[in-house]
Amino acid sequence: MTPVVRTFWSAFKATQSVDVDARFFEVCVFDDNEPSANHLAELVVRGVKRATAGLVWSFEAANMPTPKPGDLSVVTTWDGHPVCVIETTQVDITPFSEVTAEFAATEGEGDGSLEYWREVHTAYFARECARIGRIPSPSMPVACERFRVVYCTFGENAA
């Protein structure tokens, strides 16, 4: 955790009536490129993006558990600037080919369609698979994570 994220996390903790350190999951940036990462962080702050999809194989390769309800994560821009804290509310492990249109719409990217979701996630997961030495397939396990913003210092969801 960088000093700026640590300061942000401390400010969030000061708003809580109980200790939340045990619920900290990760500092996350959505996507693997700057323009998209910054845009997705903005969508989270605006309340448009309320879900994310992670390749279970990537969690395994990083020796990390998949997220679970109650986990708290700090969302940052590409350059590491914290924008909000999210709380995981639900996680469903689903084969890529079975991700639903409803989930794609909740993820809030592009036009919100399942077609758009499949197009961008096929490309993203292919890059992830190449990075971790796996071969993409329709049955690859996806962690479909729903979340809510619980702390934000600016934007529509400001606490």
Q: Could you tell me which of 83, 79, 88, 90 has the C-alpha nearest to residue 151?
A: 83
pLDDT digits (tens, 9 = 90+) for 58-106: 999 999 999 999 999 999 999 999 999 999 999 999 999 999 999 999 9
**Is pLDDT at 45 greater than 50 in this prediction?**
yes
The whole-angstrom separation of Cα 35 and Cα 154 is 20
pTM of the full predicted structure? Answer: 0.90
Supply the pLDDT for residue 1. 87
The whole-angstrom separation of Cα 130 and Cα 150 is 34
pLDDT interval class at 107 (50, 70, 90): very high
**Is pLDDT at 119 greater than 80 in this prediction?**
yes
Supply the pLDDT for residue 106. 97
